[in-house]
Amino acid sequence: MISLRLLDQEYPFEGFDHVRFVARGIVMDSHGNVALHLLHRNDAFCDQTYYETPGGGVDEGESYVEAFARECKEELGADVDILLCLGEVEDAYNLIKRKNINRFFLAKVRSLGEPHFASKGDTLIQKTEWLPLEEAIAKMKAQDDRLVAGLVKRRELPMLEEVKRLRDAHRISYPGEPTHHGTLPLETKRLLLRRFEEADAEMMFANWSGDPDVTEFLEWPAHADVGVTRSVVTVWSKKYGDPTFYQWIIVKKENNEAIGSISVIHSDFDAVEIGYCIAKKEWNKHYTSEALEALLAYFFDNVNVSRVFGKTDVMNERGQAVMKNVGMAFKQTVPHGGFNQRGVCDVNVFEISKAEYQSRK
């Protein structure tokens, strides 16, 4: 990641009396164009027109990621998926005795609506231009080197150039599309995650699929007999040729016992919803969290999704604990958003973005 410390050589330094934390970044649309604001200011700083990337101050109680998502919504009208953190720039505005800690992200637009400016700084925005990356870099390079325009240029040009470098090196897909690989074997300290085989049906039925306590919060009921389980495993086995099909059996390495399953139950372009179940005798041993942690690494590092999320009945404390254990954050409660063996239920949604996952590594 980029790390820069820039001095303000445009205005005399008389010390700092406050620090501002700023979330800013490069936002790409579905065509690979990036957003640049064209600003004009005529104040004590300068009388200039210049380009700047979207972003703004981090509010009290917000993370950088949350602040950048909010700023994109306010300034662009965009719901975004944050792909990664590009780096951090420390710069200063000597004229107002302020030091800025700017964290930059790369994000792509999930949906685009109307902006609703919410801060005084937003009123400086004359228009927002969606430009090919090379054109955005060219405009930033041509920007005035003096005063505020120069401060912004030195801060933001390296980030635009870093995105181009990553794109040209195929370190980021255009425009952030996943590359699906299907159900590949994964391994953790205690577990092996692999494809189901026909011979797994008996142990699956004995350990979890035939247990109503396990399926209480699931959409499907406990299997009446092992024949039902065999039929399910047969269907899954035939789907493993599809690279978008993800269904793992969870096996303990110490004794080769199958104890549960974990899978993608829904995918939405570059986000996946994970579901899981585990044998009752293995509850509270953190096997499911260990398996889910392996899936996060697989989907963010190999498949290149932007978000992993999960949903469960608001009464399912064990299911929620699994997601919390791996850093997935509560997002919302959806009234009557699901059903299970208890009936129609309210569901809690948890998720983690790729940027959030990478920031904790």
Which residues in 177-280 belong to E strands, given as ranges? Answer: 186-187, 191-194, 247-252, 257-268, 271-278
Is residue 177 assigned to a domain?
Answer: no
Residues 340 and 195 in one domain: yes
The CATH number linked to 134 is 3.90.79.10
Residues 156 and 235 in one domain: no
d(CA 121, CA 113): 20
pLDDT score for 358: 84
Tens-place pLDDT, residues 206-253:
999 999 999 999 999 999 999 999 999 999 999 999 999 999 999 999
| Domain boundaries, position 159 | 2-168
Tens-place pLDDT, residues 273-308:
999 999 999 999 999 999 999 999 999 989 988 889
Q: What are the residue ranges in the chain where pLDDT is below 50? A: 174-175
CB-count exposure of residue 272 (10 Å: 0-12, 13-18, 19+) = buried
Closest by CA position to 14, among listed 95, 100, 99, 101: 95
- Select from 136, 168, 200 the last residue of a domain: 168
Residues 136 and 282 in one domain: no
Residues 198 and 315 in one domain: yes
Q: Which element (helix H / strand E) includes 149?
A: helix 147-168
pLDDT score for 137: 97
Find the length of the chain: 361
Is residue 90 assigned to a domain?
Answer: yes
- Select from 134, 168, 202 the last residue of a domain: 168
Is residue 87 assigned to a domain?
Answer: yes
The answer to whether residues 295 and 287 touch, using CB atoms and an 8 Å cutoff, is no
Residues 261 and 329 in one domain: yes
pLDDT score for 133: 93
Residues 164 and 252 in one domain: no
Is residue 92 assigned to a domain?
Answer: yes
Residues 156 and 193 in one domain: no
- The pair phi, psi for residue 261, each rounded to 5°, is -145, 155
The CATH number linked to 294 is 3.40.630.30
Is residue 215 assigned to a domain?
Answer: yes
pTM of the model: 0.56
Residues 142 and 192 in one domain: no
Residues 225 and 345 in one domain: yes
Q: Which string of DSSP letters, residue by residue, matches 256-276? A: TEEEEEEEEEEEETTEEEEEE
Count of domains for the chain: 2
Residues 164 and 197 in one domain: no
- Select from 135, 168, 201 the last residue of a domain: 168
Is residue 16 assigned to a domain?
Answer: yes
Residue at 40: amino acid letter = H
For tokens 């699906």, the residue is 180
Is residue 178 assigned to a domain?
Answer: no
Please state the separation of Cα 48 from the chain's center in Å.
Answer: 36
- The pair phi, psi for residue 31, each rounded to 5°, is -100, 0
Residues 264 and 232 in one domain: yes
Residues 205 and 325 in one domain: yes
Is residue 206 assigned to a domain?
Answer: yes
The answer to whether residues 122 and 75 touch, using CB atoms and an 8 Å cutoff, is yes
